[in-house]
Structure 1
Amino acid sequence: MKQIAMITGVSRPNGIGAVICHKLAAEGLDIFFTHLTSADIYAEEKNYPQQLTKELKNYGRRVADLEVDLTESNAPNQIIEEVRRTLGDPSILINNATFEAPANLHNLSGELLDRHYQVNNKSTILLSTLFAKNFEQAFPGGNHGRIIFMVSGGPDPNNLAYIATKGMLKAITPPLAVNLAPLGITVNALDPGPTDTGWITASLQQQLLPLFPAGRIGQPIDAANILSLLIKEEADWLTGQVIEANGGFMGK
């Protein structure tokens, strides 16, 4: 069947989401992506989603996008309805969208926790279950469905809310994989480790470099390459896993 991939959180050219879009389009998939450039503090070009659409169409693929705020309760339904309206029924969902704001002992608040939860958990998990329900109806007895959560971790004392909510995605990966296996959908989580998508300053780069045995910091294409492997038919037997593909990062 012709595969349609959904990628959330695509707002800047050096982000993991954009590189995933390019990678999968080059491999023959139609692409639907979501974005909210105004919420991405590292996005320098506000019209990038329109530019990306043109770039992806150059691969000969069908492409559609949606600007959507994942803090809105109806966002998951909007996304599923729009991808079906514009391209058709999707078989791949890459949950790349995220919210992150520094939070430690002194500034962690209920409001900050709620915002992390709304984007990183509530909308992401509901979108995943809506995707699975649609897949079940569109492809009865089908297979090669994919859900991938982009996750993170580590004992960073200034990222309490972010790491806590990403931990929830790690926790739901095994049981959701068991739930969706009869439908032909695999569910995995990918932790690419520190990846240079615009947030790594020169000084931070010098701190991180010695922790990468390969002598370089992770790039978005590294994550995209792993995702490309996970969506292939040969990966049907890989599900329920939290995969750390971080180049052997030795940081804590």
Structure 2
Amino acid sequence: MIDPHLAEATALVTGANHGIGRAIALAFARVGVKLFLSWHIAPPRYDATQHTAARETGSGGAALYDANQQNPGEAVLAELAAMDAQAAGMPADLADPAAPAALIEACRAQLGAAPDIMVVNHTHCVLETFDPALAEVKGEFPLALVSAEEIDRHMQINARAFALLVCAYTSAYLAREAKWGRIIAISTDAASAHAANISYAASKHAIESYARSAAAELGKYGITVNIVAPGPIQTGYITPKQAGDIAAGTPLGRVGEPEDIADVVVFLASCQARWLTGQLLYAGGGWRMPQ
């Protein structure tokens, strides 16, 4: 096994209560990273009976994804404790502009150090469209006409929170005269344009711009900033039919799993990635690969 030289480093991972964020936390723990997790649990769209049924069948779709989103962050902290990992965490609503600085300070207070590594994984996603005809289509995932409220929510939680997290991280980094740092943003392979998911895509594209600007400005301090753009990852939302279609259109012949992205993130945090910054790494098994 290649040693990433991350033992005793401290990492902040947002959106860490399920899916990709949880997988990132577990992957870091395996290489000796101390972890501070954040999570936010939105009101469920389905009731407990529907969640239980979705978990029992294991069949992907809106109900299972909603159930997974309700996973308490404390459950992931318990998994980390079982691995003898040093970890702490707290819920945080990143729509609040005060939350980013509060997370950095809580990490410092509870783990004894501000984060060396910051993975901005959390996301807000409500399907929106410009097309009234699409908004009238009844499907498993509701689709609404674009609204000022949801434009603002996507930009606040996704893009603005990323920028404020970078500011808070950098201030703490410089205050302790650190020489080595990593910022990793989780975007999407559809950030440049995503029909029927337009505000989400736009907010992710904004994150990518912020990340590249941060890479240009912060490299002189020893901080690398990179972006991971996952393809379809089974975090619960992909139905069996969709999984078959995705696998057929993917050169590696399957749907991605959260662990596939977690391993990419560990690499970008490692010493082996020391010469990479400002990069957008597509991680989708060849999905959307130009041909």
TM-score range, shorter chain: over 0.9
Q: Which residue of 2 aligns with 1:156?
A: 194
Counterpart amino acid of residue 83 in structure 2: Y
Q: 1:153 to 1:229 in 2, by over 3 A?
A: closer
Q: Once the 2 structures are TM-superposed, how far is the Cα of residue 39 of structure 1 from its aligned partner?
A: 5.2
Counterpart amino acid of residue 34 in structure 1: S
Spell out, residue by residue over 1:155-213, the C-alpha distance to the aligned partner (whole angstroms, 9 max, x if none): 43101001111011112222210111111110000001111111111222122121111
What secondary structure does 1:147 align onto?
strand
- The reply on whether 1:71 has 2:95 as its aligned counterpart is yes
What secondary structure does 1:243 align onto?
strand
**Number of residue equivalences:** 248
Q: 1:40 to 1:232 in 2, by over 3 A?
A: farther
Q: Distance in 2 between matches of 1:53 and 1:217?
A: 27
Q: Which residue of 1 aligns with 2:54?
A: none
Q: Which has the larger radius of gyration?
A: 2
Q: Is the 8 A contact 1:11 1:40 kept in 2?
A: no
Which of 79, 99, 112 is matched with 1:55 structurally? Answer: 79
Structure 2: which 5+ residue stretches go unaligned? 1-6, 46-64, 133-144
Q: Distance in 2 between matches of 1:122 and 1:194?
A: 24
Q: Which residue of 1 aligns with 2:13?
A: 7
Q: Which residue of 1 aligns with 2:37?
A: 33
Counterpart amino acid of residue 103 in structure 1: E
1:1-252 residue pairs with structure 2 within 5 A? Answer: 2-12=8-18, 15-38=19-42, 42-44=65-67, 46=70, 48-87=72-111, 88-105=113-130, 106=132, 107-140=145-178, 142-143=179-180, 145-154=181-190, 155-250=193-288
Q: Distance in 1 between matches of 2:289 and 2:222?
A: 36
What secondary structure does 1:37 align onto?
coil
Spell out, residue by residue over 1:132-155, the C-alpha distance to the aligned partner (whole angstroms, 9 max, x if none): 111111134x12x10000001434
Q: Once the 2 structures are TM-superposed, how far is the Cα of residue 232 of structure 1 from its aligned partner?
A: 0.7
Q: Is the 8 A contact 1:37 1:43 kept in 2?
A: no
Q: Once the 2 structures are TM-superposed, how far is the Cα of residue 251 of structure 1 from its aligned partner?
A: 7.2
What secondary structure does 1:217 align onto?
coil
Structure 1: which 5+ residue stretches go unaligned? none
Q: Distance in 2 between matches of 1:178 and 1:50?
A: 36
Q: Is the 8 A contact 2:17 2:75 kept in 1?
A: no
Q: Is the 8 A contact 2:189 2:230 kept in 1?
A: no
Q: Which residue of 1 aligns with 2:135?
A: none
Spell out, residue by residue over 1:22-78, the C-alpha distance to the aligned partner (whole angstroms, 9 max, x if none): 000011000111011235763536463212112112222211111011111211121
Q: Distance in 2 between matches of 1:57 and 1:213?
A: 37
Following TM superposition, the consecutive aligned residue runs of length 4 or more in structure 1 with deviations greater than 4 angstroms are none
Q: Is the 8 A contact 1:173 1:242 kept in 2?
A: no
Q: Distance in 1 between matches of 2:277 and 2:37?
A: 23
What secondary structure does 1:112 align onto?
helix
Q: 1:137 to 1:39 in 2, by over 3 A?
A: farther
Q: 1:22 to 1:43 in 2, by over 3 A?
A: farther
How large is the Cα RMSD of the aligned pairs?
1.8
Q: Is the 8 A contact 1:211 1:251 kept in 2?
A: no
- Give me the TM-score of the superposition, normalised by structure 1: 0.93
Q: 1:126 to 1:157 in 2, by over 3 A?
A: same
